[in-house]
Structure 1
Amino acid sequence: MIALLRGTLLEKSPNQAIVDVAGVGYDVTIPVSTYSALPNPGAEVRLRIHTHVREDAIALFGFNSAEEKQVFEKLIGVSGIGPKLAITILSGLAAPDLIRAIRNSEIERLVRIPGVGKKTAERMVLELKDKLIAPAAADGATPEQPALSEIDRDVLSALLNLGCARPVAESAIRRARAAGAGEDFEPLFRRALEFVR
């Protein structure tokens, strides 16, 4: 599967980028937030890619940041949300705002996004509320929890894959850090496992 493209940006529009990688032009569907971050055509560009395979097509969805890609992949896991709608949702609300809206059950904010009805918004909140990491506050407001480092997020992902509930996993990571587990993935992961109950 294609996970990343780095090459020359040939064309861009608010929902599409064409990237030349070693002479091959890849057609990538993107959200508006990624479009805003793209350089002018002719410049080098790097996009994180989600490859979506169907019986009749292979589609590439590109993102400027790992956070956008992760939110997209969580969205398409929700019943009734396909890749096109997920791109529309990420175009309607920037990833940090979308995460806050879902975690705070702001149904009225979510239904303002084109294509998102009340039932879809309710499903997003129900299925994703505990699966999305709160973004760090950018406006001076205090975030709900201290922002997780990249290693913390990797350990969190591993614990969630083992079936831990998010609040339990986040608490275990904080306790492992407080117990001096260090900065490397494996010792932190093993120490956090000790605190999972």
Structure 2
Amino acid sequence: MIGKLTGILDSKNPPQVLVDCHGVGYEVDVPMSTFYNLPGVGEKVSLLTHFVVREDAQILYGFGSGPEREAFRQLIRISGVGPRTALAVLSGMSVAELSQAITLQEAGRLVKVPGIGKKTAERLLLELKGKLGADMGAQVHAVNDAQADILQALVALGYSDKEAAAALKSLPAGVGVSDGIKQALKALAK
């Protein structure tokens, strides 16, 4: 229902943020990986979202990138893994680390996440194999901090995740954020 929020960051109280969208404040739960990359209070922010409706609550979860939201959606499809657990997993490791752990079937890396026991870790590895491992790893294997910032800037400018990811692939390795955004915008304008 609500796929993306763009507005002014009103407050930050981990793991929740308040985004003011033209006078309406949305409380959004975000993983710590997204939380650390948020701009300062009072600045413009854009988050991809996942809306969960339960019998007793309606909760909005926000993500800084498309792969992060997709990983969240794959995690909550697993029996016994709810949104809170999925958020804990994404707070404890990046999408690239998660996909690598799935590809290599390393339960030990998942057990280090608070709230994930050995049985849950093994279930995650089993059910996500082929869904998040190699496929997701190909999307995020080279996304470093600068590339993540470039991707987020392009999405904030209104480009889809797919367009932004395609523009990222055309950039030279090790490009800075500002130069990368300029080059990506030139590539997208063609």
Q: Show the counterpart of 1:26.
A: 26
Moved over 2 A (4+): 135-139
Would you say 1:72 and 2:72 are equivalent positions?
yes
Counting aligned pairs with the same residue, the percent is: 48
d(CA) in 2 for partners of 1:83 and 1:26? 18
Q: Which whole-Å deviations, capped at 9, do the CAs of 1:125-168 have from their partners, x for residues lacking one?
A: 110010012232468xxxxxxxxx948x9xxxxxxxxxxxxxxx
Maintained 8 Å contact 1:13/1:35: no
Which structure features the higher share of helix residues? 2
Q: Show the counterpart of 2:36.
A: 36
Q: Which runs of 5+ in 1 are unaligned?
A: 140-148, 154-197
Which letter does structure 1 place at the counterpart of 2:141?
Answer: A
* TM-score normalised according to structure 2 size: 0.71
d(CA) in 1 for partners of 2:96 and 2:14? 19
Higher Cα radius of gyration: 1
Give the C-alpha shift of residue 114 in structure 1. Answer: 0.3
d(CA) in 1 for partners of 2:31 and 2:72? 10
d(CA) in 2 for partners of 1:138 and 1:66? 12
More relative contact order, 1 or 2 (CA 8 Å, 6+ apart): 2
d(CA) in 1 for partners of 2:60 and 2:103? 28
d(CA) in 2 for partners of 1:53 and 1:82? 12
Q: Show the counterpart of 1:170.
A: none
State the secondary structure of the residue aligned to 2:19. Answer: strand
What are the residue-to-residue correspondences of 1:1-197 with 2, within 5 Å? Answer: 1-132=1-132, 133=135, 134=137, 135-137=140-142, 150=162
Give the C-alpha shift of residue 56 in structure 1. Answer: 1.6
Alignment RMSD (CA, Å): 1.8
d(CA) in 1 for partners of 2:121 and 2:108? 8
Q: Which runs of 5+ in 2 are unaligned?
A: 145-160, 166-190
d(CA) in 2 for partners of 1:130 and 1:95? 15
Which letter does structure 1 place at the counterpart of 2:69?
Answer: K
* TM-score normalised according to structure 1 size: 0.69
In the alignment of these two chains, the number of paired residues is: 143
Q: Show the counterpart of 1:162.
A: none
